[in-house]
Amino acid sequence: MILSTREQAINFAMYALENDPLFSGLNEHAMLGHLKHSIRLVFGGHTFEHGDLESIAQSAMDLLEYN
């Protein structure tokens, strides 16, 4: 199975949420901001438009029930 870039970004975001101590103890707004920044660092600043980036980060948080 080949994953789209969006699916890869969601998987990365879920990994980051579960394994990076930076995300522990953050409120939802701060977590979303840090997660979007982390996705930009890994996938590049121009890979996703702002709305898509927000959706990817929120999807990862929803899948892991971080809200």
- pLDDT tens digits for the chain (67 residues)? 899 999 999 999 999 999 999 999 899 999 999 999 999 999 999 999 989 999 999 999 999 987 5
Domain that holds residue 50: 5-17+26-63
Cα distance between residue 52 and residue 20, in whole Å: 22
Tokens 């929803």: give the residue. Answer: 62
Tell the burial category of 27 from Cβ atoms under 10 Å away from its Cβ (0-12, 13-18, 19+): exposed
pLDDT at 65: 86
**Torsion sign over Cα 28, 34, 38, 43:** positive
- How many domains does the chain fold into? 1
